[in-house]
Amino acid sequence: MSLHFIIDGYNLLKHRAFSPPPGIHDSRFALIQFLRIEKPCGSPKNKVTIIFDGYSGDLSLSGLEFEVIFSCEDSADDKIKRMIEIEAAPKCLVVVSDDRQIRDFARLCGVASFGIEEFLSPPRKKATGRKEDLTKADLSYSQAHKINEELRKLWLKK
């Protein structure tokens, strides 16, 4: 199942955790290049939509693998909310913004959301599913035995 990331463009650009690639003068294009190089959205199968306030100006958008939307007269926040509302599969959406109203709205609609810093932080190492991951115990044998006995009493109503 691929995801669809909706990114509040200027919100990410102006965050202190964002560092654009060197040598790019247009900050919007720097953001696009950053997403292309660093791949914080994970799999290339994931769809990425970047929403910017206002108009494109002289930014060339041809040949991009990301969808870039300029909100024109609307705010980027309103555009993001409308995209959330019309989404047929909200479980596949991920909103990236530090705007609390947007994140709260997303959660109310069943959409996952990340703050900018959380989005930009490197992914944590996941369990590999190997045998050593499954057998690694955080409890001692006696602790596990006590828990099992208590659960047995509850389940079997002894």
Domain boundaries, given as residue ranges, for the chain = 4-120
| pTM tops 0.75, yes or no | no
Task: Enter the tokens of residue 97.
Answer: 């913004």
Q: Roughly what angle, to the nearest 10 degrees, separates helices 76-86 and 100-108?
A: 10
120-124: long-range contacts at Cβ-Cβ below 8 A with a sequence spacing of 24 or more? 120/12, 120/15, 120/17, 120/18, 120/40, 121/17, 123/42
Topology of domain 4-120 in CATH is Rossmann fold (3.40.50)
Q: Is the pLDDT of residue 85 over 80?
A: yes
pLDDT (tens digit per residue) in 121-139:
876 554 454 555 445 556 6
Give the pLDDT mean for 47-70. Answer: 82
Task: Enter the tokens of residue 130.
Answer: 């190997």
Please give the Cα distance from 132 to 38 (Å, whole number).
31
Instruction: Categorise residue 87: left if φ over 0, alpha if ψ from -120 to 50, beta otherwise.
Output: beta
Note the pLDDT of residue 66.
Answer: 87
Residues in the chain: 158
